[in-house]
Amino acid sequence: MSVTVKDVEHVAALARLSFSQDEKERLTHELNEILQYMEQLNSLDTSTVEPLSHVIQLQNVFREDEIRPGVSREDALKNAPVHSEKFFKVPKVIGDR
Amino acid sequence: MQTELTFDETQKNILSGATTCEKVLDDYLQKIDSTKQLNAFLSVFHEEAREHARRVDRKIASGTAGKLAGMVVGIKDVLCMKGKKVTCGSRILENFESLYNATVVDALLNEDAILVGKTNMDEFAMGSSTENSAFGPVLNPVDKTRVPGGSSGGSCVAVAAGLSHTALGTDTGGSIRQPASFCGVVGLKPTYGRVSRYGLVALSSSFDQIGPFAHTVRDAATVLGVIAGHDERDSTSAEVPVPDYAQFLSKDVKGVNVGLPVEAFADGLNDEVRSNVEKAIDVLRAAGASIYDIHLPHSRYNISTYYILMTAEASSNLARYDGARYGFREDEARDLASMYTKSRSEGFGAETKRRIMLGTYVLSAGYHEAYYKKAQRVRRLIQNDFVQAFAEVDCILMPTSPTTAFSFGEKAHDPLQMYLSDIYTVSANLAGIPGISIPYGTDTKGLPVGVQLLGKQFDEPTILRVADFLESTLKGQES
């Protein structure tokens, strides 16, 4: 498996990132180098091994669904780049294209 | 100068009336202000900390002070403090102000620690040299042409340069232990789930853990005792009782079974690092510990497994930085999709983008099973290696890093070489076990060497005991 500039463009679109042509070429080279190293995992037979997603024994924790204080609207808007009195503001999503 | 003392010594002086918290803090603030070129701190709370120190002095006078009264602490800028910026070393969060305290911050404050400032770091804790901070690299105080290690370089240097008694860092793949080794201080990564991650900005949620830097094992143990424990706000924090760690210190090591992973002493280990680590082994053997060769047969897969899973989790965690609700927004964007893309592309640094790309790739359709699931399976094999090893030994000893501190720029342009410098530290995060790095001698250039001890899950007591013993034998040599 080898990563192409086209793959890099596809993954960049998924990750909502954009790169210059130079950056794309460098990333293609770097990702290939890293992924080639990671190919070593294929030498291991793991067909009978269960994936490990959590390292310590945990049980689901339940609690009563009680109302507790949360983040106020004022606080929630405090770090917004652009906001109105009540809402986060973003560029227009629909219409006049 | 108060700043040359450990917390243990300082607290004795404060409680005996020889000095006050306020005077101690002033010494630290002076030193912070005179060593700005190290770039260890991103923000310093001069007035607030002074006010707090005076309050703690009053509590000491009235006999109501907490366990950490007089301790000056630096906080890695990835942990939330209400009303303070939390930049994560990134331009994208340059102006973000925390809405609440991390649980560890509350825990320190409740015991009257004085939080002096927020420390510099690799952007979003991604890096092994602190060269990836958007606010400039941190210098290693031992040799300013060399990196302090990373990603918790600022917290580590705060302690190493005498700018705070202790500091909190985070360790996802070695980000506490590796810098501790490079700068000659103690760095402790607790068991996964030992310390609440509430209020820690997430990098890789199945690996991240908060822990202390300190001058001594005792001071590190004191901080751990305060920050450890279950927290209902972090469902991954474990409901395991927190022991009094101090009771395991100042003990001998007779009968302790120490394992040496054959794989960690093979090729690729710098000779001078090896000879210092071997000295530590000889000291333990002479003191009555039993030393055994052990095998961790899957350790050659550590780096691949770690960087697949870590980048996958990071790419998912960092999806939230889109310029909509908080963080940097590129103003030029005319529509929502380009606002996301432009804000992220401008706001993130090169290494963060590289890891988001790698993580997105291994999670993308067609590669998820081949890379991500595969790595999760190998992670189980790696954890099983440790379970088997710990059936025979009480703790494992090996180097923290294959080399001493490297120079600025040496690995910055070769990501794979940078990743390989984590070869001895990522295993503890993959297996969820605790690890500690303590300074043990220097190489011929005078650069510190770190010895690492790994323990069973929640068995911080054993590694603290052995680390404390090793530390005491070094002090015997110096005096």
pLDDT in tens, B5-20: 899 999 999 999 999 9
In chain B, residues with a C-beta closer than 8 Å to the C-beta of A44 are 298, 301, 378, 381
Q: Please answer whether residues B176 and B152 qualify as being in contact, where contact means their C-beta atoms are separated by less than 8 angstroms.
A: yes
Token output for B378: 């190998």
ipTM score of complex: 0.95
Q: Is residue B347, in this structure, part of any structural domain at all?
A: no
Q: Is B88 on the interface with A (CB under 8 A)?
A: no
Rg of chain B on CA atoms, in Å: 21
Q: Is residue B165, in this structure, part of any structural domain at all?
A: yes
Outline where B62-139 has alpha helix (H).
103-110
How many domains in chain B? Answer: 1
Which of A17, A19, A66 is the best residue to mutate to test the B interface, defined by the most B CB atoms within 10 Å of its own CB? A17
Strands B210-214 and B166-170: antiparallel
Strands B435-442 and B290-294: unpaired
Predicted confidence at residue A96, as pLDDT, reads: 57
Q: Is residue B409, in this structure, part of any structural domain at all?
A: no
Phi, psi dihedral angles at B464 (to 5 degrees): -65, -40
- pLDDT tens, residue by residue, A35-62: 999 999 999 999 999 999 999 987 787 8
Cα separation, A59 vs A53, in Å, equals 14
Question: Pick the catalytic residue: B128, B133, B151, B299?
Answer: B151
Domains present along chain A, CATH in parentheses: 5-42 (1.10.20)
Residue type, B114: I
Predicted confidence at residue B2, as pLDDT, reads: 63
Predicted confidence at residue B4, as pLDDT, reads: 78
Q: Is A70 on the interface with B (CB under 8 A)?
A: no
- Neighbouring CB atoms inside 10 A of B202's CB total 17
Cα separation, B52 vs B119, in Å, equals 19
Q: Is residue B72, in this structure, part of any structural domain at all?
A: yes
Residue type, B333: A
Token output for B305: 């497994």
- 8-state DSSP, B246: G
- 8-state DSSP, B166: E
Which residues are CB-contacts of B132 (< 8 A; sequence separation ≥ 6)? B89, B122, B123, B126, B150, B151, B349, B350, B351, B352
Token output for B98: 């925390």
Q: Is residue B128, in this structure, part of any structural domain at all?
A: yes
- By C-alpha distance, the chain A residue nearest B339 is A91
Paired residues of B85 in beta bridges:
B97
The CATH code of the domain that includes B92 is: 3.90.1300.10
Phi, psi dihedral angles at B98 (to 5 degrees): -65, 145
Q: Is residue B25, in this structure, part of any structural domain at all?
A: yes
Cα separation, A5 vs A62, in Å, equals 47
Q: Does residue B175 have an active-site annotation? A: yes
Q: Is residue B133, in this structure, part of any structural domain at all?
A: yes
Residue type, B16: S
Nearest-5° Cα angle at B399, B281 to B6: 85
- Global pTM reads 0.97
Token output for B44: 């310093």
CA-closest candidate to residue B85, choices B120, B130, B54: B120
- By C-alpha distance, the chain B residue nearest A30 is B415
Judged against a pLDDT cut of 60, whether residue A87 lies above it is answered with yes
Judged against a pLDDT cut of 80, whether residue A95 lies above it is answered with no
Paired residues of B188 in beta bridges:
B436
Burial class (CB in 10 A: 0-12, 13-18, 19+), A76: middle
- By C-alpha distance, the chain B residue nearest A81 is B326
pLDDT tens by residue, chain B, 479 residues: 567 789 999 999 999 999 999 999 999 999 999 999 999 999 999 999 999 999 999 999 999 999 999 999 999 999 999 999 999 999 999 999 999 999 999 999 999 999 999 999 999 999 999 999 999 999 999 999 999 999 999 999 999 999 999 999 999 999 999 999 999 999 999 999 999 999 999 999 999 999 999 999 999 999 999 999 999 999 999 999 999 999 999 999 999 999 999 999 988 899 999 999 999 999 999 999 999 999 999 999 999 999 999 999 999 999 999 999 999 999 877 899 999 999 999 999 999 999 999 999 999 999 999 999 999 999 999 999 999 999 999 999 999 999 999 999 999 889 999 999 999 999 999 999 999 999 999 999 999 999 999 999 999 999 999 999 999 999 766 53
Q: Please answer whether residues B442 and B279 qualify as being in contact, where contact means their C-beta atoms are separated by less than 8 angstroms.
A: no
Phi, psi dihedral angles at A46 (to 5 degrees): -115, 20
Q: Spell out a b/e string for B211-226, using b for 16 or more CB atoms within 10 Å of the CB, else e.
A: bbbbbbbbbbbbbbbb
Token output for B339: 């606002």
In chain A, residues with a C-beta closer than 8 Å to the C-beta of B422 are none
Which residues are CB-contacts of A69 (< 8 A; sequence separation ≥ 6)? none
Token output for B300: 């050659």
Q: Is residue B242, in this structure, part of any structural domain at all?
A: yes
Token output for B404: 């001493």
Burial class (CB in 10 A: 0-12, 13-18, 19+), B80: buried
Predicted confidence at residue B479, as pLDDT, reads: 38
Which residues are CB-contacts of B36 (< 8 A; sequence separation ≥ 6)? none
Token output for B192: 């996964």
Q: Is A15 on the interface with B (CB under 8 A)?
A: yes
In chain B, residues with a C-beta closer than 8 Å to the C-beta of A9 are none
Tell me the residue range of the domain where B227 lies. 2-248
Nearest-5° Cα angle at B310, B306 to B316: 160
- Neighbouring CB atoms inside 10 A of B5's CB total 18
Torsion A58-A60-A64-A67 (CA) sign = positive
CA-closest candidate to residue B5, choices B127, B144, B164: B164
Paired residues of B290 in beta bridges:
B257
Predicted confidence at residue B477, as pLDDT, reads: 62
Judged against a pLDDT cut of 50, whether residue A21 lies above it is answered with yes
Q: Which of B232, B341, B415 sits opposite A16 (nearest CB)?
A: B341
Token output for B235: 């469902």
